[in-house]
Amino acid sequence: MESVEELERWFRMAGVQSLHARIGPLPGSGAALGRWTSEGPDSAVRSVCPHPGTYRLALMMEPLDARIWHGDTPVWGGTIGANRFRLCPPGEQGRWSQLSGCDIVNVFLPVPLLDRLAAQRGEELDTALSASQFTSDRMVFDLVRKMLDGPALAGPLAAEMCDHLVTALACYLLEHYSQPAASAPSTLGGVRLRRVLRHIAEHLDAPLANAELAALCGMSAAHFSREFHRAVGLPPHRYVLTRRLARARAELAQGEARIADIAEAFGFHSASHFTRAFSAAYGQSPAVWRARHK
């Protein structure tokens, strides 16, 4: 999650109207945290959206009665105990239904942070965090609890403290909840995925064909598209669009450049193309968004 707006948009798409608490994205780690509560049940079936580039740790602060599906397959039905958590990979999608009141914290941990720490551990294979079932772990609960209490514990230095707590949490999860990722040549991950994401970030002003990205990791275009979607949670063209829009939005907030020039700088065919894409993503035209966020 690279911005407050992106974090809040993920929660809105998941059916959460307001956050009880929000932390980040933090300046050092890039991690973010959101806590939301509900007094009673909600029979609506909600969608769980992918969160490209981050693992999501979902922690129950109080017991929750819920049903959870991955696709059309039921994976949970019943009560999830307080202080239990699970780890959700970046591309995970599913549905769930809340059958009681809830108090849930979601912590978004950037993949680059985990990759860097895994490399420091001397991992020879790509690693992935794995805790698909709800698990009770006092260390995880205590670290997240301290993040939530950051403003009271550290005042103006709360963000600095939370950054260190995120690093501590990531180190602990890598030690206790990591496993080798699939190592077959057809799997997109680790160095090859980082190479593709870096190439995208450095060439947002130019056309980025699927075949060009696939060539960076020695895959066919069709196979690359499937593996990228699996690894990141979005098809390549959608991921590129989200990065272009995020960079363009930052430029709108920081400078006085013409909207047409921003559109050209970030690979949009025209100002009208940029305006349509921006409005669809953020619910406002670039001009209105700039006026409200200057």
**CATH number of domain containing 249:** 1.10.10.60
pLDDT digits (tens, 9 = 90+) for 136-181: 899 999 999 999 999 999 999 999 999 999 999 999 998 888 765 5
Q: Is the dihedral of CA 216, 268, 237, 209 positive or negative?
A: negative
CATH code for the domain in which residue 155 is found: 2.60.120.280
Pair (21, 149) in one structural domain: yes
Pair (196, 105) in one structural domain: no
Whether residue 185 lies inside any domain: the answer is no
Into how many domains does the chain fold? 2
Pair (170, 243) in one structural domain: no
Q: Is the pLDDT of residue 123 over 90?
A: no
Whether residue 88 lies inside any domain: the answer is yes
Pair (128, 165) in one structural domain: yes
Q: Answer yes or no: pTM beyond 0.75.
A: no
Within 10 A of 25 (CB to CB), how many other CB atoms are there? 21
Where does a domain end: 180, 211, 246? 180
Where does a domain end: 160, 180, 200? 180
Q: What does the mean pLDDT of the chain come to?
A: 84
Domain that residue 267 falls in:
190-293
Pair (117, 34) in one structural domain: yes
Whether residue 11 lies inside any domain: the answer is yes
Whether residue 29 lies inside any domain: the answer is yes
Pair (24, 136) in one structural domain: yes
Which tokens hold the place of 233?
């949670």
Q: Could you give the CA distance from residue 182 to residue 91 in angstroms, rounded to a whole number? A: 15
pLDDT digits (tens, 9 = 90+) for 206-232: 888 989 998 888 888 888 888 887 777
| 104, containing H or E segment | strand 102-110
Q: How far is CA 62 from CA 75, 83, 93, 100, 267, in A?
A: 20, 7, 24, 10, 46
More confident residue, 182 or 44: 44
